[in-house]
Structure 1
């Protein structure tokens, strides 16, 4: 299942409103099929893995990061029907589908056909890998990651606005990888005016995975940009389940104040600026007590001389 979850990450930021599912088929201890949701949402992970495995699927074990879909679609047959036809011995599912059109119907139909079904294997990890889909379904908006690159004293630029470069090459490369894993990327109008950012992915081989650029506020941008007037308007972004917010300080504060941030990426460079521009503006915190218990650290690692810290909202 861990391998299936890793496969699901390949589709992150490319499947629109569809979940980025991963699927692995195992026969006699050998992987005979692998799949992940393809760009635009089709083929589904199960369909891709089943096609690869062919007749070897009979009597095999299928590992899916989400319950196979059971609702009809003009875009192709349901994954439940494909799996039933392939006649595996077992289907192991990480998490149920949150879409009521499929929820429990997929596993029930498989069980009724005589296929052994298990649910809940590495469920938390699967939820995290497909958080964009779950956030969209539960909250009606994209999953939001706020990225900040700052000095040790919490500055994102010098007092005159100079910010190139606070972090080193490895940290910046990692930030571009994060861009490649999102549907859209957002900055404030002030950042557009000051920096004229491209917001593309500049990693060899991943240039085609640049996210849709979005600006918060009024600014002169190219025609392919999307403009929104307030943070809550991210709910209206089309085909967007994963959103990366890159600031600056006022934009970061507005998303935190609106309680729209699900994940924090903090890149810290071993430098002191002093008197520079702070990473985050006023978020309307009324009491220090309220600030505690809001975030859980998931990861901390070195990227060259810089430090990356990853946090997600506490449950």
Structure 2
């Protein structure tokens, strides 16, 4: 009979492993797999792996390769149901069968219609014991982006706002203003490294001239896709975003082409720098999220602009709010935030408050009915 405490312990390890490549596996989810063997001297890990950067190879095949012959008769802990379809790589369910594992423990079943339940059937038909739902809630949280994209055809959306003590996000005409300290900014940099795409409005792109990359040493390659809502294609060609578009992809989301020579010239100038122009209703967040989902974007971080934040909040398309509050006040010339700690939209539940140096981070999550 399975030991639930033991299952929880090794699934927790698999989830920790899965987190390592979150945001770096393309359209594939970052899955963790741990192979555990017990020859009478207690269970011990003989193979452990996470989905590779870019999405392949998958976690299971890598962990099995590390385990080698020790995988035969062992237990595999996998954070997501092993795939059962032939894509660019053979099915992981078949690999587990071929390796001779005796048992597979799974946190979350895969909602992908190509897999959903089929991976479990392959394993069970081969005589492998299968247990599902172990640390399922934690697994759903770790896989929240992938699951949102598969179930709702859109990315999981996180809204990040830095607000002064008097409820401002900036000062009129002064561009980017530092509201939070080093610890909070480091937190955001790590968040960028774990996110598929980051979004700002054109007002923020012009006023702040941000680069929106990950600046943690060693994680520069984990910078997310950068998306700018830019209806008229007003992004300056001299901006940091445009100038770095060939290094880290940039999408400018515009509406229908207006047919003017000026619009065509702006579009061509941006494209010459490597900016991709996507025609999509820029004031309809649902349309934009759907377009991003078709590109395999599972998680989206909204970082800039009161108007952009309000659009997504009004549309009911924000899943998590990260509200950073700094100790300073900005005064009457400040730009009001669409929300603060005392004015959170209905439907959001406060999850926790974290202290980051002199700043506070409040996390809120929207309670959606399954």
Do the two structures share a fold, i.e. TM-score over 0.5? yes
1:9-48: per-residue Cα shift (whole Å, max 9, x none)?
1221122221221111111211111111112211111111
Residue in 1 that maps onto 2:199: 186
1:80 aligns with 2:93: yes
| Mapped contact 2:175–2:208 kept (Cα < 8 A) | no
Q: Distance in 2 between matches of 1:201 and 1:155?
A: 25
1:216 aligns with 2:200: no
| Mapped contact 1:70–1:78 kept (Cα < 8 A) | yes
Shift of 1:163: 4.1
Aligned length: 306
Residue in 2 that maps onto 1:236: 291
1:269 aligns with 2:269: no
| Mapped contact 1:25–1:49 kept (Cα < 8 A) | yes
Shift of 1:153: 2.5
Shift of 1:172: 0.2
| Mapped contact 2:71–2:99 kept (Cα < 8 A) | yes
Residue in 2 that maps onto 1:122: 135
1:89 aligns with 2:147: no
Q: Distance in 2 between matches of 1:312 and 1:144?
A: 10
| Mapped contact 1:146–1:252 kept (Cα < 8 A) | yes
Shift of 1:151: 1.3
**For 1:151, which of 141, 164, 174 is the aligned residue?**
164
Alpha carbons of structure 1 residues 295 and 212: separation in structure 2 relative to 1, 3 Å = same
Q: Distance in 1 between matches of 2:57 and 2:90?
A: 10
SS at the partner of 2:20?
helix
1:243-289: per-residue Cα shift (whole Å, max 9, x none)?
111021111101111111111111111223332211228xxxxxx9x
Instruction: Calculate the aligned-residue CA RMSD, in Å.
Output: 1.7
Shift of 1:67: 0.7
Of 263-272 and 171-180, deviating more is 263-272
Q: Which runs of 4+ in 1 moved over 3 A?
A: 159-163
**For 1:296, which of 349, 359, 365 is the aligned residue?**
349
**For 1:253, which of 286, 289, 310 is the aligned residue?**
310
Residue in 1 that maps onto 2:264: none
TM-score, scaled relative to structure 2: 0.79
Shift of 1:291: 4.1
Question: Gapped runs of 5+ residues in structure 1?
Answer: 282-287
1:98-133: per-residue Cα shift (whole Å, max 9, x none)?
012111111122112111110001111111111111
Question: Gapped runs of 5+ residues in structure 2?
Answer: 1-10, 254-281
TM-score, scaled relative to structure 1: 0.92
- Specify the structure having the higher radius of gyration (Cα): 2
Q: Distance in 1 between matches of 2:169 and 2:193?
A: 22
